[in-house]
């Protein structure tokens, strides 16, 4: 039996669940654009699939004024080291996101892997 899988960046598919630094004037639209850019790079690591690993990792992403992803930090682990490594790599693979409206900032993104 082949299981289907669901990949989601918390905000990309459902309500606003990304957290941004309060000092920055950020729009909901910009946060959604960032989530879509990251979600476009999301994969389900095969080894995690084979072991039935699921979870949500929260990653803090530092974004420059030009939209370059400068740094990622694991804020809340998923329970799987494989998924956590993937969560940290996703924003780096996106590389560039839309420039933040208020200049350089950080956002915390929940990234979920779920087998269906």
- Tokens encoding 86: 């993937």
Question: CATH no. for residue 98?
Answer: 3.30.2420.10
Supply the pLDDT for residue 26: 58
Supply the pLDDT for residue 51: 96
Q: Is there a contact between 78 and 87 (Cβ–Cβ < 8 Å)?
A: yes
Average pLDDT over residues 71-97: 95
How far apart CA 111 and CA 83 sit, in angstroms, is 9
Q: Is the pTM of this model over 0.75?
A: yes
Q: How many other β-carbons are positioned within 10 Å of the β-carbon of residue 33?
A: 16
3-state secondary structure at position 108: strand
Which residues span the domain enclosing 19? Answer: 5-115
């Amino acid at each position: 039996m082949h299981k289907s899988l669901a990949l989601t960046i918390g905000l990309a598919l459902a309500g606003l669940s990304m957290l941004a630094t309060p000092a920055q004037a950020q729009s909901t639209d910009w946060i959604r654009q960032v989530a879509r850019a990251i979600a476009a790079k999301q994969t389900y690591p095969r080894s995690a699939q084979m072991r039935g690993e699921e979870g949500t990792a929260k990653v803090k992403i530092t974004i420059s004024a030009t939209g370059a992803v400068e740094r990622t930090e694991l804020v809340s682990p998923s329970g799987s080291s494989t998924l956590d490594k993937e969560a940290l790599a996703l924003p780096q693979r996106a590389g560039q996101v839309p420039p933040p409206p208020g200049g350089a900032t950080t956002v915390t993104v929940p990234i979920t892997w779920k087998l269906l």
